[in-house]
Amino acid sequence: MSATSANKDDFFAQTAVPERFSEKYELMKEFVSKHRAIGNRVVLVSSGGTTVPLESRTVRFIDNFSIGTRGSASAEYPLYFLQHGYAVIFLYRLRSLEPYSRHLQRRLMDMLEVKGDSVTVKHDHTSSLKSILQQYEGVKAKDLLLSIDFTSLAEYLHLLRASAQILNAIHSKALLYLAAAVSDFYIPKHEMPEHKIQSSTDKPLQLSLQLVPKMLKPLVKEWAPDAFVVSFKLETDRNILIKKALSALDKYQHQVVIANLLDTRKYEVVLVTKETEKPILLSKEDSDKGLEIEEEIVKQLIARHKHFIES
Ligand code: PMT
């Protein structure tokens, strides 16, 4: 496997515009314009991993480990802070975790029971389910959550560019929270075989991948220059994590990097700005009680975003 690099214009020219792109574009535009009119802030939360197809009529693809826990949990918390007036565009990998329904996705079968002819919620799950449903209904009634799905890397980046450009209309009231796990390699469409790659040869499969340009650069400089931008840095080596986060802030000139390690990401992150490094920790006891690190991450970011808007 080898890799060479493209620039952002090559990337967009070499990848197809996603299906239903204009429909999704219009939904995002309408959502932002509605919340702009009532003075709300809007946060774009990206979540889940991107796929890199190996064939045009895709049978096989390279995928990423993320299942969207970080993004889906985080998307709920701005909504707990309704007094802060946030609406959320949730840009997520299809079939990864989603806000609210994530609480049921893994536990549904344990929450329900058959009683006579009907299916009911088990007594000890009633209050948690009721609370999730009430939050969800509140959010729906106020139209505070717009979910837009993607699967491939190209879909994600086309939609990211569109949403950032749309959000630029609300200037500093836009917050971009880029938690999706984005592939760094792809196969341009003119190099991709149309049909399923055949295995009936003796030779091992050789793949040639291009490097995906880092989209944080045009995002901060061109697409949403007035927005508050939070990127994530994922590493497996603790020794290089903070250095890489600081180098990203220096290179892209955005506001915050949330640095996390693959193995400890649910219990430990560092909120890095050019001037500060703030560790955010979740203890084992708090985790066992059902608390999540995303609540504190979002609380910290909302405070910093408020300061950013005011200054
Ligand atoms: O979903 P979970 O299982 O809960 O996992 C959450 C998470 C670990 C995926 C999340 O916390 C996280 O760290 N997300 C970012 C992972 C990632 O892509 O890291 P990176 O170091 O490869 O990229 C750093 C930043 O560059 C990212 O914010 C990304 O948006 C951006 N990027 C990446 C590739 C690319 N071509 N252009 C970019 O701008």
In the prediction, which pLDDT does 81 show?
58
Distance between CA 34 and CA 272 in Å, rounded? 32
Rounded to the nearest 5°, which phi and psi values hold at 100? Answer: 70, -60
Distance between CA 258 and CA 244 in Å, rounded? 11
Going by alpha carbons, the residue nearest to atom 34 of ligand 1 is 182
In tens digits, the chain (311 residues) has pLDDT values of 555 566 899 899 988 899 999 999 999 999 999 999 999 999 999 999 999 999 999 999 999 999 999 999 999 877 665 556 799 999 999 999 999 999 988 788 889 999 999 999 998 889 989 988 998 998 999 999 999 999 999 999 999 999 999 999 999 999 999 999 999 999 988 899 999 999 887 888 899 999 999 999 999 999 999 999 999 999 999 999 999 999 999 999 999 999 999 999 999 999 999 999 999 999 999 999 989 999 999 999 999 999 999 99
- Any domain includes 242: no
- Any domain includes 198: yes
**Is the beta carbon of 266 within 6 A of some atom in ligand 1?**
no
44: CATH: 3.40.50.10300
**Is the beta carbon of 178 within 6 A of some atom in ligand 1?**
yes
Q: What total number of domains does the chain contain?
A: 1
- Any domain includes 269: no
Going by alpha carbons, the residue nearest to atom 37 of ligand 1 is 214
For residue 179, the ligand 1 atom closest to its alpha carbon is 14
**Is the beta carbon of 215 within 6 A of some atom in ligand 1?**
yes
**Is the beta carbon of 216 within 6 A of some atom in ligand 1?**
yes
- Any domain includes 168: yes
In the prediction, which pLDDT does 80 show?
62
Cβ atoms of 268 and 257 within 8 Å: the answer is no
Specify the residue for token string 């079939």.
Answer: 95
In the prediction, which pLDDT does 85 show?
75
* 85 CA → ligand 1 middle, Å: 26
For residue 235, the ligand 1 atom closest to its alpha carbon is 21
Name the residue range of residue 179's domain. Answer: 2-100+146-226
- Any domain includes 264: no
- Any domain includes 18: yes
For residue 96, the ligand 1 atom closest to its alpha carbon is 1
In the prediction, which pLDDT does 79 show?
63
* Pairing assessment for the beta strands 185-186 and 208-211 based on DSSP bridges: antiparallel
Cβ atoms of 304 and 280 within 8 Å: the answer is no
In the prediction, which pLDDT does 88 show?
95
Cβ atoms of 142 and 135 within 8 Å: the answer is no
The whole model's pTM is what? 0.95
- Any domain includes 271: no
Return the HEC string of 23-86: HHHHHHHHHHHHHHHCCCEEEEEEECECEEECCCCCCCEECCCCCCHHHHHHHHHHHHCHHHCE
CA R_g for the chain: 21
Going by alpha carbons, the residue nearest to atom 3 of ligand 1 is 66
For residue 257, the ligand 1 atom closest to its alpha carbon is 28
Cα–Cα nearest to 253, from 225, 276, 234: 225
